[in-house]
Chains A and B, each alone.
Chain A
Amino acid sequence: EAGVVQSPRYKIIEKKQPVAFWCNPISGHNTLYWYRQNLGQGPELLIRYENEEAVDDSQLPKDRFSAERLKGVDSTLKIQPAELGDSAVYLCASSFDRFTEAFFGQGTRLTVV
């Protein structure tokens, strides 16, 4: 069974440029999460989807970040414009439902210069 797939693996952009990350969750998983992990820290939740509905986006900086999960499967996370402080690893995870363990993708390492 394929795991959570994320792309790209690495991205280097100049500040003020836009960037997008893509996530394909494990088939059949209804819950999808986007986390951000800063260097030396644990992952922090940005947004959680139940199917196509965002049920927890309280930590998402809505002035520059947006996310969507069309048809309740794949998801994209966008930053526009990017700032130097956005440099981090962005992790996507999925779970069968909100009560079960989340499985993580390999992450996208974003560097803003």
Chain B
Amino acid sequence: DQQVKQNSPSLSVQEGRISILNCDYTNSMFDYFLWYKKYPAEGPTFLISISSIKDKNEDGRFTVFLNKSAKHLSLHIVPSQPGDSAVYFCAASERGSGNTGKLIFGQGTTLQVKP
């Protein structure tokens, strides 16, 4: 059972435009969410996170939005740059339980930013 789902395997946007990557989850116990970026032949790199007590977190060009009632989060990249082309993974964890630290990852979305 896939607890974290990224239903779009790929996304292509023009440089300078907004990229929106989506993620859905099923476990209502998840209270901490992260986005990782992965380039080919490298390990995932932490990008941004959000706690369930917030509905928005911003870091430069990257903003994560959390809609707890819909069990949905999204990553916005504005403006998109060619160097943002990578695979983006959404991950979730239960920080308030014994499973703290265990990240459940989505399948990933491949973002291509065209010059």
Q: CB within 8 Å of B: which residues of A?
A: 4, 6, 31, 33, 40-45, 48, 56, 91, 93, 95, 98-99, 101-107
Contacts and interface: CB of A to CB of B under 8 A. Distances in A.
Contacts, number: 54
B43 interface: yes
A104 B36 CA distance: 10
Interface in B1-55: 4, 34, 36, 41-46, 49
Contact of A91 (B43, B46, B95, B106): B43
The B interface is mostly helix, strand or loop, or mixed, namely loop
B76 to A, nearest CB: 20
Interface residues of B, number: 22
Contacts of B43: 4, 6, 91, 93, 104-107
A107 B42 CA distance: 7
